[in-house]
Amino acid sequence: MSIFKKLVTAVRGGATEVGEAIVDTQAIRILEQELRDSKKALNDAKTNLTAIMAEKMGVARKVKELSEKIKEHEGYAMQALDKNDESLATDVANKISEFEYELNIQQGILDGYESKIASLSKMIRQTERNIQAMDREISVVKTTAKVQKANDLAAAKFSGSNSSLRSATDSLERIKARQQKREDQAAAALELESEDKGDDLQARLKNAGIVDSASSGSSVLERLKKQKENS
């Protein structure tokens, strides 16, 4: 392959990568729009299915009415035959034939509706499952993106790649250092005040066993007895 062809291939490959990067950047927005379009199409399909089901109900009523008329006229024909009225029986039979012809047509339409409704209902259920799955996928991707963004911001503190975040972090550390310094100063002041009052010396004497840590009833009684003997 010539150098020129290699350059052309490289440029095309780079353009493809740039195009994919742009698409990936807008992936969530594109998917959400596609999902909205799918939901609208699904609602339209449900509306159309409802209309088809209503038409099927009308045809079903015709089928029922024709079946009832055929049964009714068969009764008439039998009564005519019972009366040996062949002509009347023939006329009724011809009418029954017309009913049966119309019944076959309507039954065929009804069967077609039932088949189409079953097929559309199945497609709608599958589409609903697909939309629910896509909803979950988008939710997971958006949540993952937020978590990763938060993680990147936190990690930037240690990487130093984000100068503004690094500056803010340094300010936070300085604030903490000043707070700690004030706490240390307050503790030192309390310690110094304690020493000025002799509390520290008294505590050290008590810890060394040179001074009693506290008087007791027996020690007070012994002191009083000695005072009485010396008086």
User: Which pLDDT belongs to residue 188?
Assistant: 83
Name the DSSP class of 227: H
Element at 56 (helix H, strand E): helix 27-82
Pairwise CA distance, residues 167 & 160, whole Å: 9
Angstrom CA distances, 64 to 50, 76, 95, 107, 117, stand at: 21, 19, 17, 10, 19
User: Which pLDDT belongs to residue 161?
Assistant: 55
Angstrom CA distances, 70 to 66, 74, 142, stand at: 6, 6, 64
Q: What is the pTM of this model?
A: 0.52
User: Which pLDDT belongs to residue 217?
Assistant: 58
Pairwise CA distance, residues 70 & 76, whole Å: 10
User: Which pLDDT belongs to residue 4?
Assistant: 47
Averaged over successive runs of 10 residues, the pLDDT of the chain (231 residues) comes to 52 58 72 89 94 95 95 93 91 94 95 94 94 89 84 67 67 86 84 64 64 58 74 67
Cα dihedral 204→208→209→215 (10° resolution): 10
Pairwise CA distance, residues 166 & 172, whole Å: 10
User: Which pLDDT belongs to residue 191?
Assistant: 74
* Residue ranges matching CATH 1.10.287 in the chain: 3-166
Question: If you classify domain 3-166 with CATH, what class do you get?
Answer: mainly alpha
Under 8 Å CB-to-CB from 194, ≥6 apart: which residues? 200
Q: Count CB neighbours of 89 within 10 A.
A: 18
Handedness of CA 35, 36, 41, 44 (dihedral sign): positive
